[in-house]
Structure formats: structure tokens, C-alpha cells
A and B are shown apart, each in its own frame.
Chain A
């Protein structure tokens, strides 16, 4: 078991999301950065979909009540076990009573803690991802207990090391496909979309990121239609919203871009005041 000593800014349990209930209005949810979460699970030999702890911007403090085998991957917030720095992206054998804390932010916005066998919090509609109106809670609080597999046998860090490609966390370039309403934009609007360095406003969360710079919006609103994590919508005020994992399943704003899965992961590692720009890529038709 793992006990939450301090909840930090936002800490939740996530797997790869709640799939197949979207026609009932259920958000997909799931880890914001699927690359880092899958990586942490892979290092431990877990299943890709095993539930992990997602921590936004550090400050969270956890106590391991039982012996645990873990891997920490994603953003670098100077992770420490009992005040000793630890190596990210590797197998860590943690003794009962140890405390995980974080310090200075080096890069990234979200860090993942995978535990051997996964976090075993309640499963609702085939997923453990915290989600509003679906799971009992949307974030972890002080004193919460995260159930994990008991009797975790210590593991050696011997097998071939998988390399964590952290470049995606540093880049400000987000690759995106043309969105469903992209063709309705004028040439001027299209060039602004790729030439502007957009600043991430304080309104950024698991639901979506609102960007600061505006593009004059001359498009009519659309009849509500499906949206996905990574959909970039142009709002009536001219501000762009990039929908993230907790987004609704339908929306009525024009969809100008659709981020690639890796670009969603890149954005998940960004926070307030970070800059991003879009690079439009074409589909390769086969």
C-alpha cells in the first residue's frame, strides 16, 4: 500500500483510459502523457494499461506502507526517496516506511509512478482512471491509501535498459494534422496558426489547455460533433483550446487541428507560460 502524505497540485490514478463508453458521453480520461506512463510500466514488466500515479508539477509526498517495486518516469522534479536522489526510468526497490518526495523542477509537467502489478484502486467501466462523475474521486488527497499488490519481490535492474527518449518533453513544436474545419480557415488564419508562438495560459488542466494569442475567428459555430483528446478548437473569442484527456466527447467549436498522439504527450509535459507552436503535417494516404 501507498499512503498520500501530501496531495500536491494534482495527483490522480490513471491507466490508458475508459474505452467504449463514449456514445454515453463518458470521457476517455487516462494518463496525460501515454509515452511516459507506458514506459514506466514497461520497465517493470507490467501491462501497458496498468494504473499508475500521475503527479502534476511535483510537491506530492507519498509513503510506502509495504515493500514496493516502482519506476518513476516523465517530468523531472528531482525525485527523492528518503531525501536521497533516485534515478528516473529505472527499477527502484523501495522498502516499507520510505518516503517519496520531489524538489526542483528540471523539466516536464507530469511525472508517473508505476508500481509492480499496477495500482489497484476501484475499477469502473473497465478502467481505473479517475474521472468526474464516474469514479468516486477525481484526485488523491492527504491520508488516501492506494492499494497495490502485496508481497512485491525485489527485482534486479539487470535486463537490457530501454532508453527513455526525453526530447519530446523539451520540444515546443507540436505536430498536428489538419482538423475537420481547417479548410474553412483563410490563408491568413492558416499562416497565423503555424507562425504564432502560443503561450499557455493559467487555464490548463487535464480537460484542456487554453492558449493566449488569438486568431480572428470568422468561422460559424458548428453543429455539435465528436471531439477527441488533441483536438484544437477555435473559440468565438479567437482563442484556441487544445482538448486533453478529460475532454467531453462532443463539441460545437470549429476543429482546426488534431495533434498527433506524441504531440499530446509533449503538451502534457508543458504548463503555464510555456510556449508552443504547431507544425501541420499531411496524412500519407496509402
Chain B
């Protein structure tokens, strides 16, 4: 893929690396591999932000020579082995689709001709790819939503979407990790915190992981929420082979 990558200066301290402009799992895997090599090779890197088909690499200081910095990045790409391999997981995310939480389910069912049960079945079926985390701390950009449950965003966004809301916006689905404004259709709620500021690694999920949603009852939701608040709940996970 190397030939198709472009490198552009982005301000005084960053370089933007771009792949072909599309959402694609093989591009994503290449991005994650590259990110890991860059971060394990250089001590001068401050942060690496993952996009659908891009990496934004920021350095600790001003880049004195872009030519040299880009040459070093290209060398990283050709490195075949990653020194510190990062394990990726499939996480099982519990979601309560009760109408108390899934406040838009009835409207979506009417609109699509599907039953609420079918919407839940279609939402819990796939394994979703975590492309990257952005928008809010711990907000996952997921790929893999079934076409039958693509629903347009609401005309007017809600000013307050509760923390843990599981929602659909167009061809995307996601979880609001904190209370925020939002225009997506809310179909359920997860008792799990995706961002804990008190932890050394505040977000347990990372780009390159996968997730699936599991339907739970209101009683289980309440219990898990209690465990999550105490900081003792852990999602089930499987290593990606």
C-alpha cells in the first residue's frame, strides 16, 4: 500500500498520512499496524490520531525538517515486525433495549416496517469494527451496522442525551460515553462506562478492537450499573486471533 500513501505537513508540528479515501477494514488494519510501529519507534512523537483513512502524527517540538521526518515515517512503514505487539479484543457490550431507554425504538419501527424485536436482533447480530475514538472522550466510531437499520439523524438534535445511550445516526451506530447534545436515534442504554478519568488507561477499548452488543434486561442493567459505579465490572472479551 506504500505507494498510495500521501504525507502532508499539518501545521508546524504535525504530519498527516492519508490512505485512499474510503472506509475499508484492510486499510484500517494497515493504519493500526503503522500507528503501533510509529509509537514504538520514536520518542519524539506526542500523539497519533487515527481517522478512517488517515493518521495525524504530532511531534513534541517543531519539525525542523519535514523531508527528514517523512523519510523516517516511511522507514517505519517498511518495518515488518512490530516490536511490542498490541493485542486486540472483541468486547461484549451489554445493552438494555427496554423502551424506558430506547426512546426512539417505536418511531423507528413504524418508520421502517420492522418490529422492535427485529431491530434489536439486527443490532445485536454483527461484530462491529472500532475504527477510532473521537468526538467525545471514549466515543467509538464503529463500522458494520446492518443496512436495514440505517436511520437518518433526527431533524433537531436533543440537548441532553443520557450517558450510555446506544444510538443510530445514518449508517453509524455508537454509544454516548457521557451526557451530551446529540442527534442520533436512541435505541438503548449500556450500564458500562467507556471513559474513566481516574484510571491510568481511561478508555479500555482502542482503535483496532471489535465489539458486539448483547441484549440484557432492566434488572441486569441495574445490577451492572452498580458494579460499574463501584469500578468492579469488566466486559467479557475474546482475543482476536
A and B: real partners? Answer: yes
Q: 1/0 contact trace for A13-42 toward B, CB 8 Å? A: 000000111111111000000000000000
A153 at the interface (CB under 8 A from B): no
Q: Is the CB of B53 within 8 A of A180?
A: no
Interface size on A, residues (CB 8 A): 35
Q: State whether A25 touches B139 (Cβ < 8 A).
A: yes
Q: Hey, what's the 0/1 contact readout for A251-268 against B, CB within 8 Å counting as 1?
A: 000000011110000000
Contact A24:B203 (CB < 8 A) given known A228-B10, A285-B66: yes
Number of residues in B with C-beta < 8 Å to the partner?
47
* A134, B197: Cβ atoms closer than 8 Å: yes
How far, in whole Å, are A23 and B177 apart by their CA atoms in the complex?
A: 15
From DSSP, what is the main secondary structure of chain A's interface residues? loop
Contact A286–B136 (Cβ < 8 Å): no
* Interface residue ranges of A216-259 to B (CB < 8 Å): 222-228, 230, 248-250, 258-259
Asked if residues B52 and A224 are in contact (CB atoms below 8 Å), the reply is yes
Partner of A25, one of B35, B58, B67, B138: B138
Beta-carbon contact of B195 and A226 below 8 Å: no
Query: Which parts of A260-286 form the interface with B (CB within 8 Å)?
Result: 260-261, 283, 285-286
Q: Name B's A-contacting residues (CB within 8 A).
A: 8-14, 16, 18, 21-23, 35, 46-56, 58, 64-68, 132-139, 141, 177-178, 195, 197, 202-203, 206-207
B47 contacts across to A, CB distance below 8 A: 19-23
Of all chain A residues, the one with the shortest Cβ separation from B14 is A228
Q: Do the beta carbons of A133 and B51 come within 8 Å of each other?
A: no
Docked-complex contact B52 and A258, CB < 8 angstroms: no
Contact status of A224 and B67, CB under 8 A, knowing A134-B197, A230-B11: no
Residues of A within 8 Å of B11, CB to CB, are: 177, 228, 230, 258-261
Inter-chain pairs besides A20-B46, A125-B202, A250-B141, 20 sampled, C-beta below 8 Å: A22-B48, A22-B58, A23-B35, A23-B49, A23-B206, A25-B137, A25-B177, A133-B137, A133-B178, A134-B197, A177-B11, A179-B10, A180-B10, A223-B21, A223-B23, A225-B16, A250-B134, A258-B11, A260-B12, A285-B67
